[in-house]
Structure 1
Amino acid sequence: MSPYVASFIVFISIFLFGMATLRIGLKSLSNSRMQEFLYQASSTPLRGLMTGIIVTSILQSSSAVMVITIGLITAKVLTFRQSIGIILGTNIGTTVTAELMTLNPDQFTIPFLLVGFLLLQIRKQLLFSIGTVLFGLGSIFVAMHGLEAMAVPLSTLTFFEHIINESNSSLFYGIGVGTLLTALIQSSTATTGITMSFINQDLLTLPSAIAIIYGANIGTCITALIASFGSTKEAKLAAYAHVWINIIGVTLFFPFITKFGEIVAYVTALPDAQLAHVSLLFNVLSSLLLLPLTGVLAKTIEKIHKGNHLT
């Protein structure tokens, strides 16, 4: 194995460790029971949307929220139709981390790691939780710095060079890369971080990077599908809805990839910030567009997946 590939895997592992640590700290700070909150605040599609945004922003994982949602549906606490608003909200909430990753790692890494480590030595719950959040963010910044340093050496390897060239040549290929990579590492945020590291080194064009982020939205659905195995009919419908909502969003806004790039270019000249802003713009617009159509979506998904495989 190439030392560059080995280093790449190490930094992805550090990134995923940082994400897990961040989620634990944020969940601890929330001081609320997520399942109860999801149940109480999902009576309408709009409330479900807001709930999905809030809970996903706290847990920093749309997949985790989907697993909780599927569990609640299986327990007959939530209905399939209530879950659609939540799904739309999770797509927006998960963009928070992408915006955080655009902060200057060199400026925050050492302070976050140092202060976070010190606070982790304190037994008081609040301070310990803050320390967990800071240490998690510091780890993410370390990984981002490492991934960016690895981007250029990796681009010289035949396998990565082929992926980069094909992604820059075909937006459909980029969507496929984002889908497969996210399904493999089970984190759309990690895929975003990797893409940011390559775009910062001018190895990917902004449109191709956006296409990869589009694909990440589809790839993250694999967790919900796995979680629905062996569950109830309505839980499986929620997992299918997660897939369809993201596919519809990508399909509708695929023609606007270049336009989105032009819009965010007016906001910032930083490539990683542009990508984060597009992710936010895409997910907000697609969720708001589909929100009034939740009833139609539910009926359509029920019709498409009507069959014995749901029982």
Structure 2
Amino acid sequence: MEELLQIGLGLFGGLALFLYGMNLMSNNLQEAAGERMRAILAAVTKNPFFGVLAGALATAVLQSSSATTVMAIGFVAAGLMGLRQAIPIIMGANIGTTITAQIIAFKLSDYVLGIVLVGFLVMQLAKQGQMKYVGTAVFGFGLLFLGIDTMGAVMKPLAENPVFTDMIAQVTGVPVLGVLVGTLMTLVVQSSSATIAVLQNFAATPGVDGASIIGLEGAIPILLGDNLGTTITALLAAIGQSRDAKRVALSHCIFNLSGCLLFVWLIGPAAAVVAAISPAGPEVEVIARQIANAHTLFNVTMTVLWLPLVSVMVKIVMAILPEKLRRPRDPLADTLETPLAPDAAAA
């Protein structure tokens, strides 16, 4: 019981450290570069291809697909861009968010405390302004990896627990169940980057046979669920916004849902492609990179499929969320509501 308590505290404590570091990094990068990103998004959205690039660049710099998505929704709500311009930005944001998983796949454990120290010193010594934002972002980046290391350390005993490994075997054997697990994880944590980091750490934990306790084919359905769960942020951001802003959030949901429905039937072939484009080596040493590559492959593939069909996406969301029909005015009611002329009133 005490061991389970320690594992739980270590796992959720590490997750809290990761989320705090992620938010600290993202918020300060937005302060340092947010206005530039807004200007780029507003300037290059006339061409769908450049819209995708702008969305990917903004998300890679800000380290938050939610920030880019909310920006796009805000632009549409303010009338600064149309629905057709915003959808490619959402696609690009999905590609840009895979950069986080790619960074996490690097083994930075030996340098984590050094990154934290450098960020702390810059944060403390710099005056108010861009440099302070950058220092705080670096400090958050270090905390992010410190949280990952904490989660990785406490997961190792779980790999030797037969009850836990049997439960994981059941999840990995049923892809739909894996998708549900990934979706629920992201809905609870409200960060696909966090749940993917947990997945990468967990998959890199060796089982009794020395191989990954979940394997790439077991990780991909959970990854698909992570992508699906992250759409809730856009849907929440669209509450109370204009009809077109709600359609932008809905397009994000349709984009990820369609990809999930497609890839869930292609897990075997997708895993083979990912293994072929990833570094070779023992599974537990390369699976974090494989998961990052699977995340990138998913979002790039869906963008390539949907980008020529932006007009189709627009028609779909317009059909689901049509314009509100205004009730025709009743001429008789208008007559009754018209004030009487002074002479008539006197009579």
TM-score, L = length of structure 1: 0.92
Task: Answer yes or no: is the 8 Å Cα contact 1:148–1:198 preserved in 2.
Answer: yes
Kindly indicate whether residue 253 of structure 2 is the aligned counterpart of residue 243 of structure 1: yes
Kindly indicate whether residue 288 of structure 2 is the aligned counterpart of residue 278 of structure 1: no
Q: Deviations over 1:275-305 (max 9, x none)?
A: 1111111111111111011011111221133
1:288 to 301, 304, 312: 304
Task: Answer yes or no: is the 8 Å Cα contact 1:35–1:72 preserved in 2.
Answer: no
Aligned-partner Cα distance in 1 for 2:247–2:150: 40
Aligned-partner Cα distance in 1 for 2:34–2:19: 24
Q: Which moved more, 1:148-157 or 1:237-246?
A: 148-157
The one-letter amino acid paired with 1:16 is L
1:8 to 8, 11, 18: 11
Kindly indicate whether residue 100 of structure 2 is the aligned counterpart of residue 90 of structure 1: no
Kindly indicate whether residue 314 of structure 2 is the aligned counterpart of residue 298 of structure 1: yes
Q: Deviations over 1:122-150 (max 9, x none)?
A: 22444433322322221111111111112
CA displacement at 1:227 relative to structure 2:
1.1
Structure 2: any 5+ residue segments left out of the alignment? 206-211, 326-347
Aligned-partner Cα distance in 2 for 1:308–1:164: 47
Q: Deviations over 1:88-107 (max 9, x none)?
A: 10110000010110111322
Q: Which moved more, 1:119-128 or 1:42-51?
A: 119-128
Structure 2 SS opposite 1:230: coil
Aligned-partner Cα distance in 1 for 2:291–2:269: 13
Aligned-partner Cα distance in 2 for 1:154–1:90: 34
Aligned-partner Cα distance in 2 for 1:76–1:163: 50
Tell me what 2:142 maps to: 138
Structure showing greater radius of gyration is: 2
Task: Answer yes or no: is the 8 Å Cα contact 2:243–2:321 preserved in 1.
Answer: no
Tell me what 2:235 maps to: 225
Distance 1:234 1:173, change over 3 A: same
Tell me what 2:329 maps to: none
The one-letter amino acid paired with 1:273 is R
Distance 1:255 1:41, change over 3 A: same
Aligned-partner Cα distance in 1 for 2:167–2:91: 30
**Alignment coverage as a number of residue pairs:** 309
Q: Which moved more, 1:213-222 or 1:141-150?
A: 141-150
Aligned-partner Cα distance in 2 for 1:43–1:159: 55
Alignment of structure 1 residues 211-222 onto 2, 5 Å: 211-222=221-232
Task: Answer yes or no: is the 8 Å Cα contact 1:105–1:142 preserved in 2.
Answer: no
Tell me what 1:184 maps to: 188
TM-score, L = length of structure 2: 0.83
Q: Which moved more, 1:208-217 or 1:121-130?
A: 121-130
Kindly indicate whether residue 118 of structure 2 is the aligned counterpart of residue 115 of structure 1: yes
Aligned-partner Cα distance in 1 for 2:160–2:177: 19
Aligned-partner Cα distance in 2 for 1:11–1:157: 21
Alignment of structure 1 residues 63-74 onto 2, 5 Å: 63-74=66-77
Aligned-partner Cα distance in 2 for 1:132–1:206: 35
Q: Deviations over 1:165-196 (max 9, x none)?
A: 33211111111111111111110000100101
Task: Answer yes or no: is the 8 Å Cα contact 1:5–1:154 preserved in 2.
Answer: no
Kindly indicate whether residue 171 of structure 2 is the aligned counterpart of residue 167 of structure 1: yes
Aligned-partner Cα distance in 2 for 1:215–1:265: 20
Structure 1: any 5+ residue segments left out of the alignment? none
Alignment of structure 1 residues 257-276 onto 2, 5 Å: 257-266=267-276, 267-268=278-279, 269=281, 270-276=286-292
